[in-house]
Amino acid sequence: MKIIIYWDEEKTKDLIIKVNSSLNDLWLVDFIKIETSHDENIKKELNITKEPALIVEEEAIDFKDTIFEWIVPDEEELKSMFISIVWWSDSWCAPTDCWTCASWC
């Protein structure tokens, strides 16, 4: 899984810091990669109208979607979003004794 941040220079730094912090707190930094982009093709493909935008991409199932644009949510909102995404993902499994792993690894 990959997070792409389509960016505006001023707000992007805060968003990247919050996304990194949230993934780190949830121990997901090894499973979810973060990239930044200012590629006009992504902007057109996902109809992004305001920046920054947070995009989730799952290459294994050919999925890419804009989760939000223009706002920088607080860390608790980001954590909740990441937990809900990972909870339903078959491609990720947490360390032993994790109560959130769908396959109870």
Annotated domain spans of the chain: 2-87
Q: Which CATH superfamily is domain 2-87 in?
A: Glutaredoxin (3.40.30.10)
CB 16 within 8 A of CB 32: no
For residue range 12-61, what is the model confidence (pLDDT) as tens digits? 888 889 999 999 999 988 888 888 888 899 999 999 998 889 998 887 78
CA distances from 67 to 11, 80, 95, 103 (A): 16, 13, 27, 26
The predicted model scores a pTM of 0.72
Higher pLDDT, 72 or 103: 72
pLDDT band at 69 (very low <50, low <70, confident <90, very high): confident
